[in-house]
């Protein structure tokens, strides 16, 4: 039976069919749906871990204990998990271990567009890269075989267009894979200098084996066509190249590290002109050039952004698409915005009013950097807001600190904000940290986390008490405030930035998209409106300035009534009964 699956769903299916027993992840676009889908299989233990480092450590433990295990993350998550990655390369595995990493060329939903292939090379871990959903499933299964055969973790790299595209996949059965026996083996699993030296030698030996495997594996295949042009490519770039260049010759690499030098030499010698087509960094190109082979690649193609068939046609064939319709009108940009009813809107309304320097973080709330809020100064990585606020205060003094707050979400705080907070306390900082507690991991599409009280499967569990946690690390001033109670929230923020000690404000209000959040429904503007436009300042997409009137879009308004909090004339009331 064939099913139309997302690349991420196909990965989940592959893990299931491969007999995986343990799956871990921290959510991150474009990787999130892998583990969301694995969680649907009762045969697999799955979890949202607090961050990618923990996720990988859990998967390593499961692997050493004899189970096939998979750990999934986005590209920047692999930075967090890099520490265990480099050493699990030395220990090797017991049950197969596959690390899924999803890169985001074009940065649809990321803070950088790093190329994770370099991690494979740096950590001496083989890497596979599928180009559609069918390959996603097949490659994951092959990755487990490679992992167990060569005693190493295997990274499978996706990019957004593979992870988030659906294509047809033949569904198979789950393979009955027994737990391998656990055998204590300090020389392999305790990485201290004496043992690690031995393991590094083993890793180099393994790499030699993997290099010869790369020469013969069907993961790497030559598709002969017109031999005037030969293209070395992988992943989604293969699909774009196929579309743009048609029936030329291709060396499609399914295994992107280590490269099959013999196969590349053979292919190169049989085509007139050789291209390398790869998004982001010249990872293949530099290695092919190091083999002494002449190749065309980044001299014509960009290292930034996504590729497309059109881009390849333009850069390689010199053909541009003709403009079909001639229209004299420009479409204004439509950047993403905080949803109607979003609790963050109240928080940033206040922070803007107080003209604070805001060190920000990763989540929906990063949108506060854009108009109309424009009240976020920085965003670097998960948890950075806290350390950066502390650093700013230490650099510019206490007075600057009184005008500075760090802002991050509940899940981000647990991920890596808590260590920053400990630093603030330990090193006698006075930072104010606002934890936006919206009861869920929002931007990635509502995943549970240690503060929500539920597991990935929706089972009730212990809930991290943010207030107690903050107090336990030494914060004496912990305040809980509703960001929609603007007056009180402003008062709390004013008091806490003034205090000459560190403080935590927990801004508590659930994400408006959560099912249990039921606001009263669409509002309307009544005859009391004086057109003062105060309501426009909160930047709600449901409130529209029609020039001579203000209107509320009933298709968007949820009825959170934040706008009526800022209206001085009682001009906003519940609209008549609307369905939906």
329 binds other proteins (CB under 8 A): yes
Q: What angle do CA 418, 424, 427 make, to 5 degrees?
A: 135
Q: 125, 408, 543, 572: which one contacts other proteins (CB under 8 A)?
A: 543
Please enumerate in sequence order all residues whose Cβ is within 8 A of that of 327, keeping only pairs 6 or more positions apart, or say none.
none
CB of 486 to other proteins, least distance (A): 20
Q: Calculate the dihedral angle through the C-alpha atoms of 249, 250, 251, 256, rounding to the nearest 10 degrees.
A: 160
CA distance 76 to 381: 8
**Residue 339 CB, nearest approach to other proteins (Å):** 6
Token digits for 501?
A: 């000690």
Q: Give dist(CA 243, CA 48) in Å, integer.
A: 38
**Could you tell me the two tokens for 338?**
């905080």
Interacting residues with other proteins between 371 and 430 (CB under 8 A): 371-372
Binding other proteins (rule: CB under 8 A), the pick from 21, 161, 199, 509 is 161
Residue with smaller CB distance to other proteins, 178 or 328: 328
Integer CA distances (angstroms), 292 to 249, 417, 478, in order: 20, 47, 63
Nearest approach in angstroms of CB 103 to other proteins is 13
Using rule CB under 8 A, residue 251 touches other proteins: no
Closest CA relative to residue 487, chosen from 384, 370, 354: 354
Place of tokens 């059965």: 173
Please identify, among the stretches 65-73, 81-89, 423-431, 550-558, the one whose residues bind other proteins according to the rule CB under 8 A: 550-558
Site membership for other proteins, residue 165 (CB under 8 A): yes
Nearest distance, CB of residue 370 and other proteins, angstroms: 7
Vertex 511 angle, CA 49 and 498, to 5°: 90
Of the pair 168, 201, the CB lying nearest other proteins is at: 168
Query: Does position 322 bind other proteins by CB under 8 A?
Result: yes
Question: Least Å distance between CB 322 and other proteins?
Answer: 7
What's the rounded Cα separation, in Å, for the pair 360 and 233? 38
Smallest distance, Å, CB 231 to other proteins? 13
Which is nearer to other proteins, 306 or 437 (by Cβ)?
306
What's the token pair of residue 499?
Answer: 């205090």
Binding residues for other proteins restricted to 560-579, rule: CB under 8 A: 578-579
For the bound state, the minimum distance from the C-beta of residue 337 to other proteins, rounded and expressed in Å, comes to: 4
Q: What is the DSSP string of 237-261?
A: HHHHHHHHH-SEEEEEESEEES--H
Q: How far is the CB of 165 from other proteins (least distance, A)?
A: 4
Comparing CA positions, the residue from 60, 5, 64, 67 lying closest to residue 34 is 5
CB-nearer residue toward other proteins: 290 or 324: 324
Helix (H) or strand (E) holding 426: helix 418-426
Q: Which of 30, 66, 230, 260 binds other proteins (CB under 8 A)?
A: 30
Q: Which stretch binds other proteins (CB under 8 A): 59-67, 350-358, 389-397, 438-446?
A: 438-446
Give whichever of 363 and 387 is closer to other proteins, judged by the CB atom.
363
**Least distance (Å) between residue 538 CB and other proteins:** 10
Q: Which residue has the tokens 């336990």?
A: 472
* Whole-number Å distance between alpha carbons of 540 and 343: 11
Identity of the residue, 78 or 542, whose beta carbon is nearer to other proteins in the bound complex? 542
| 146 and 68 Cβ atoms separated by less than 8 Å | no
Segment 166 to 195, residues that bind other proteins, using CB under 8 A: 166-168
Interface with other proteins, residue 204, by CB under 8 A: no
Closest CA to 48 of 332, 415, 509: 415
Considering only residues 230-249, where is the footprint of other proteins by CB under 8 A? 236, 239-240, 242-243
Residue from 19, 24, 25, 29 touching other proteins (CB under 8 A): that is 29
Separation between Cα atoms, residue 78 and residue 28, nearest integer Å: 11
Closer CB to other proteins, 134 or 402, in the complex: 134
Binding mask 473-512 for other proteins (x = CB under 8 A): ----------------------------------------
Distance, CA of 331 to CA of 115 (rounded, Å):
32
Which residue among 86, 118, 164, 455 contacts other proteins (CB under 8 A)? 164
- Sheet of strand 45-48, all strands in order from the earlier edge strand to the far edge: 45-48, 22-25, 69-74, 97-103, 154-159, 127-128, 255-257
Quick check: 515 binds other proteins (CB under 8 A)?
Answer: no
From 196, 337, 369, 575, residue interacting with other proteins (rule: CB under 8 A): 337
SS (H, E, C) 183-227: CCCHHHHCCCHHHHHHHHHHHHHHHHHHHHHHHHCCCEEEECCEE
Q: Which is nearer to other proteins, 19 or 235 (CB)?
A: 235
Q: Distances in Å between the alpha carbon of 147 and those of 210, 313, 372, 413, 523?
A: 11, 38, 50, 34, 58
**Cβ within 8 Å of residue 411, ≥6 positions away:** 363, 440, 441, 447, 449, 451
- Considering the complex, state which of residue 308 and residue 534 has its C-beta at the smaller distance from other proteins: 308
Q: According to CB under 8 A, which one of 178, 192, 299, 324 is a site residue for other proteins?
A: 324
Residue numbers at the binding site for other proteins (CB under 8 A):
2, 4, 6, 29-30, 32-33, 108-109, 132, 161, 164-168, 236, 239-240, 242-243, 308-310, 321-339, 364, 366-367, 370-372, 443-445, 536, 539, 541, 543-545, 553-556, 578-580
């Amino acid at each position: 039976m064939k099913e139309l699956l997302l690349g991420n769903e196909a990965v989940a299916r592959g893990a299931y069919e491969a007999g995986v027993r343990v799956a871990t992840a921290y959510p991150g676009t474009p990787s999130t749906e892998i583990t969301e889908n694995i969680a649907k299989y009762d045969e697999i233990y799955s979890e949202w871990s607090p961050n990618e480092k923990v996720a990988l450590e859990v998967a390593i433990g499961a692997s050493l204990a004899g189970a096939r295990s998979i750990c999934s993350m986005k590209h920047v998550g692999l930075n967090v998990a890099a520490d265990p990655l480099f050493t699990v390369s030395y220990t090797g595995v017991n049950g197969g271990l596959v690390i899924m990493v999803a890169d985001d060329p074009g940065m649809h939903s990321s803070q950088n567009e790093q190329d994770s292939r370099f991690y494979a090379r740096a950590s001496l871990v083989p890497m596979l890269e599928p180009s559609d959903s069918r390959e996603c499933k097949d490659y994951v299964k092959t990755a487990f075989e490679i992992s167990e055969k060569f005693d190493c973790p295997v990274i499978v790299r996706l990019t957004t267009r593979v992870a988030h595209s659906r294509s047809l996949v033949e569904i198979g059965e789950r393979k009955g894979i027994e737990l391998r026996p656990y055998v204590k083996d300090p020389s392999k699993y305790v990485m201290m200098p004496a043992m690690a030296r031995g393991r590094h030698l083993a890793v180099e030996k393994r790499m030699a084996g993997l290099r010869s495997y790369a020469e013969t594996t069907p993961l790497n295949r030559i598709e002969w066509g017109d031999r005037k042009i030969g293209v070395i490519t992988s992943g989604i770039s293969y699909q774009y190249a196929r579309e743009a260049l048609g029936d030329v010759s291709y060396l499609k690499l399914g295994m992107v590290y280590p490269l099959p030098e013999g196969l590349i030499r053979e292919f190169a010698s049989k085509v007139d002109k050789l291209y390398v087509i790869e998004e982001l960094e010249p990872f293949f190109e530099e290695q092919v050039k190091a083999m002494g082979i002449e190749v065309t690649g980044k001299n014509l193609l960009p290292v930034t952004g996504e590729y497309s068939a059109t881009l390849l046609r333009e850069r390689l064939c010199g053909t541009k698409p003709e403009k079909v319709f001639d229209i004299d009108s420009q479409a204004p940009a439509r950047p993403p915005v905080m949803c109607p009813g979003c609790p963050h809107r109240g928080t940033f309304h206040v922070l803007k009013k107080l003209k604070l320097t805001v060190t920000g973080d990763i989540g929906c709330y990063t949108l506060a950097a854009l108009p109309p809020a424009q009240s976020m100064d920085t965003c670097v990585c998960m948890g950075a807001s806290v350390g950066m606020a502390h650093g700013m205060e230490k650099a510019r003094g206490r007075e600057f600190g009184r005008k500075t707050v760090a802002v991050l979400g509940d899940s981000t705080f647990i991920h890596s904000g808590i260590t920053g907070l400990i630093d603030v306390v330990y090193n006698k900082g006075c930072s104010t940290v606002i934890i936006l507690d919206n009861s869920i991991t929002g931007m990635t599409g509502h995943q549970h986390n240690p503060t929500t009280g539920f597991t990935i499967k929706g089972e009730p569990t212990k809930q991290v008490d943010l207030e107690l946690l903050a107090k336990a690390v030494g914060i004496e001033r912990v305040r809980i405030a509703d960001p929609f109670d603007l007056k009180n929230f402003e008062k709390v923020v004013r008091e806490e930035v003034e205090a000459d000690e560190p403080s935590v404000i927990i801004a508590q209000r659930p994400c408006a998209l959560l099912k249990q959040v039921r606001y009263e429904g669409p509002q309307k503007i009544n005859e009391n409106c004086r057109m003062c436009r105060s309501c426009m300042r909160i930047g709600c997409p449901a409130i529209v300035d029609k020039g001579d009137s203000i209107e509320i879009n009933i298709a968007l308004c949820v009825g959170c009534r934040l706008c009526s909090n800022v209206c001085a004339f009682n001009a906003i009331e519940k609209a008549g009964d609307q369905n939906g």
